[in-house]
Structure 1
Amino acid sequence: MRVAHLVFSFNSGGIEHLLVDALNYWPIQDELLLCIVNDSFDQTLIDSICKHRNVNIEFLHRRQGSGKLPYLKKLNALLSRFRPDVVHCHSNNVLLFSLPLKFLHPRWKFVYTVHDTNIYNRLSHVNIALHKLFVSHITAISKSVYQNIVDSGFPESRVTVVHNGVDPSKFGPHKERHDGNEPRTIICVARLLPEKKGQDILIDALAELARGGETYRCLFVGAAPAEHPEYRQQLIDRAGEHQLSDVEFLGNRNDIPHLLAQSDAFVLPSRYEGFGISIIEAMMAKVPVIASAVDGPKEIIGDNTYGVLFESGDSGQLASAIHHVMVTDNQAMVETAYRHALDDFSIDAMVDGFRAVYRTTVGR
């Protein structure tokens, strides 16, 4: 099978790291193309894609804000040479950009992955109508995202849940935590987007714990979106107002497994979340997980089986959850969560899920 993966940009984010792992694990019998439309990519991330003979990487080098038609012509020429069975789009923007090619190549099957909740239900009726006409199949990263799509009117028979997956070989050996006089460390891996990811809630929880004499080192991994660079400084200022001295903002990092290995607890305090791939990474690293009880994290963690849930937006509950995790022997929960992540959220399972969707779609 010949599969073209389309993205607008390829910087250090969850979707990009997911694609790197998927391409590196993809069975050799398929021919793969990764096409990056915009002139915006992380070369280190590109270099981490194994140069198998079945993976081709192409750049259209479109500058953001420039006209689309010349680059649509370049994409048409590229895909015409590649002759894909499936064109897999990883955002609605790149889908709408490439969808006119369906008129020229009706045999190509377009697949679209919805990577978060509160995306599909916000699309216009015209946008969804275009999807119904020209998109062969949609994959959803979680049951809540699936429900968003179906409730918005896209045919249920053409939607499949394919959970995000993680490469387990990146994690381990796992260190013994709480050793010596090292400060106990909390890590939060998420884009600095507090209106969604809730880093401000974690800062407030740390302040509440500090007032009771309980202090921790906290690592925030992730960068602010380009359109809101001020978010980083706002969070730094919030930590300063609470006189929290051991809070670090590390920006985007490509050594997440190493940072997790140094950490005693992982926190994802999202206000809404379609999945939460960083939760799976923490489970793979055998780090206790604390997350807000919203759609994606609840689906992964269950009824506090594989981690600790707290009510979204409640910094007091989060403070209590952190205290509980830090004073409790979590070994049994951590081991159970590790097996859960290996069994249900491996990169192999994700690739197998995509390939099953492709086979069904091409066979129609």
Structure 2
Amino acid sequence: MKIIHVINSLHFGGAEKLLVDTIPKFIERGITTDVLVLHPEKTFFYNELAQKHQVKIVTTKKKSLYNPLYSIALRKYLKEYDIVHVHLFPSLYWVSLATLFLKNRAKLIVTEHNTDNRRRASVVFKYIDRWIYKKYDKVIAISKGVKENLQSHLKKSNDTIVTIPNGIPIEVFKNATGLSKYHIGIPENAKVIIQVASFTPQKDQDTLLKAISLLPDEVHLLLIGDGVLKEEKIGLATTLNIKHRVHFLGYRTDIPQLLKLSDVSVLSSHYEGFGLAIVEGMAAGNPCIGSNVPGLSEVIGEEGILFEPGNHVQLKNSIEQLLYDKEYYLKIQKQCLDRAQEYDLSFMIDAYINVYKAL
């Protein structure tokens, strides 16, 4: 069986991280698995796959992700592989268009990674999406919330869309050794909140920053990630007079160790398909707090803590209760650690292989 995964890039993100974690496991199971990247920048994830795991990565020469000529460049791969597995827009469009007038092509799978996107607000794109998705033999949703929202958008039958929750290598996070607070400029007696997320409107760092501003000075915040809104959030931290205790650490490769030094993991998203960062926090032994949105609320369940999106006062109260009520902290910590076991990477790998074999 020969499979190629098609994705926009290998920048910092949940879908990209998923490929880094899963592809070596597929190869271990005897499945030839390659990657095609539309934007060939050699990021950490790119090098992790190509150099550490010796994964074959195919790149293209187009400069813009939105160049429709990708649909022509991709046609050869629909003949060379048994399965083409696609992630994210616009890759899902270009692969779908590449099937036009093509006989004896590979089977197509697309993984849907989010509960919402800008296309769904457009009547025109709603009908275009329905045509695009019809070209796929199987659609994998990473949570029930993703599946339900996509079905509503596409009016697509249950048997075409299947739910396979994301997974993580539990032991990597569970057994990590935390960094010392000294190394990142945090007082040893500080209480540390962490959020691992790109700086985009979806992730809503504003709500978390406002919550931190209402907490005592001993509470510090680690924000891991990069993105177009990072400078804006640095400005907000300055305006809220908390810049001295908010640490913008950018993209990091030592996330398990950063999670281990932290006391609480938070994800304050406006919408979220799954919330891989929260599962990683759970596995590292952190009590976890997330916004009550489809996908993320499903992952956290009753084991962690949910707050209403955008409600910084409710988020502040949840953080405060965890930090200053030891018994409550230990209860939520254990519940979250137990919950993480349900998302072991091996469960996801088994489920994907079953889908591949059934095509």
TM-score range, shorter chain: 0.7 to 0.9
* One-letter amino acid of the counterpart of residue 215, structure 1: E
> What SS does the aligned partner of 2:37 have?
strand
Correspondence list, 1:26-41, <5 A = 26=26, 27-41=28-42
2 CA distance for matches of 1:223 and 1:136? Answer: 35
Q: Which residue of 1 aligns with 2:184?
A: none
The residue that corresponds to 1:118 in the other structure is: 116
Compute the displacement of 1:175 (Å): 6.2
Please give the residue correspondences for 1:317-356 in structure 2 after superposition, counting only pairs within 5 Å: 317-329=314-326, 330-342=329-341, 344-356=342-354
Q: Decide whether aligned partners of structure 1 residues 204 and 67 sit closer, same or farther in structure 2, where only a CA change above 3 A counts.
A: closer
- Rounded to whole Å, the distance in 2 between the matches of 1:52 and 1:322 is 38
Alignment correspondent of 2:161:
159
Aligned-pair distance for 1:121?
4.0
Which moves more between the two structures, 58-67 or 85-94? 58-67
Alignment of 1:207-222 (within 5 A): 207-210=213-216, 214-222=217-225
| Equivalent pairs, count | 344
Q: Does 1:204 align with 2:210?
A: yes
Instruction: List per-residue Cα deviations over 1:33-56 (Å, max 9, x = no partner).
Output: 1111223341x2223227799942
The alpha carbon displacement at 1:176 in A equals 8.9
What amino acid is aligned across from residue 165 of structure 2 in structure 1? H
Q: Measured at CA, do residues 147 and 247 of structure 1 come closer, stay the same or move farther in structure 2, by a change above 3 Å?
A: same
Q: Distance in 1 between matches of 2:230 and 2:218?
A: 22
Q: For residue 196 of structure 1, what is the amino acid of its counterpart? A: Q
**TM-score for the superposition, normalised by structure 2:** 0.88
CA contact (8 A) 2:178 2:261 kept: no
Secondary structure in 1 matching 2:171: helix
1:315 aligns with 2:318: no
Q: Which runs of no fewer than 5 residues in structure 2 stay unpaired?
A: 182-186
The Cα offsets for residues 134-189 of structure 1, whole Å up to 9 and x where unpaired, read as 11111111111100111121222100011111112322436699999431111111
Letter in 1 for 2:128: V
Letter paired with 2:10? F
1:10 aligned partner: 10
Following the alignment from structure 1 to structure 2, what is the Cα–Cα distance between the partners of residues 28 and 278? 26
After superposition, the CA RMSD in angstroms is 2.5
Instruction: Tell me, yes or no, if the aligned pair for 1:7 and 1:35 is still in contact at 8 Å.
Output: yes
Unaligned runs of 5+ residues in structure 1 are: none
The 5 A counterparts of 1:1-364 are 1-26=1-26, 27-42=28-43, 44-49=44-49, 55-64=55-64, 67-69=67-69, 71-80=70-79, 83-102=80-99, 103-119=101-117, 121-122=120-121, 123-132=125-134, 134-152=135-153, 153-173=155-175, 181-193=188-200, 195-210=201-216, 214-224=217-227, 229=228, 231-244=229-242, 245-303=244-302, 305=303, 307-329=304-326, 330-342=329-341, 344-360=342-358, 362=359
Q: Alpha carbons of 1:177 and 1:37: their partners in 2 closer, same or farther (altered >3 Å)?
A: closer
Q: Which amino acid aligns with 1:261?
A: K
Q: Is the 8 A contact 1:177 1:264 kept in 2?
A: no
Report the Cα distance in structure 1 between the residues aligned to 2:251 and 2:178, rounded to whole angstroms.
26
Shift of 1:219: 0.7
Q: CA 1:118–1:240 in structure 2 vs 1: closer, same or farther (change >3 Å)?
A: same
SS for the counterpart of 1:12 is coil
Residue 37 of structure 1 aligns with an amino acid whose one-letter code is L
Q: Secondary structure at the match of 1:135?
A: coil
Q: Mean alpha-carbon deviation: is it higher for 45-54 or for 100-109? A: 45-54
Report if the CA contact (8 A) 2:140-2:161 is conserved: yes
Q: Partners of 2:178 and 2:150 in 1: how far apart?
A: 43
- Judged with a 3 Å threshold, the aligned counterparts in structure 2 of structure 1 residues 150 and 78 are, in CA distance, closer, same or farther, namely closer
Identity within the alignment, %: 28
Supply the AA of the counterpart residue of 1:90. Answer: H
Given that 2:137 and 2:160 are in contact with CA atoms closer than 8 Å, whether structure 1 keeps it comes out as: yes
Q: What's the offset of the Cα at 1:6?
A: 0.4
Alignment TM-score, normalising by the size of structure 1: 0.87
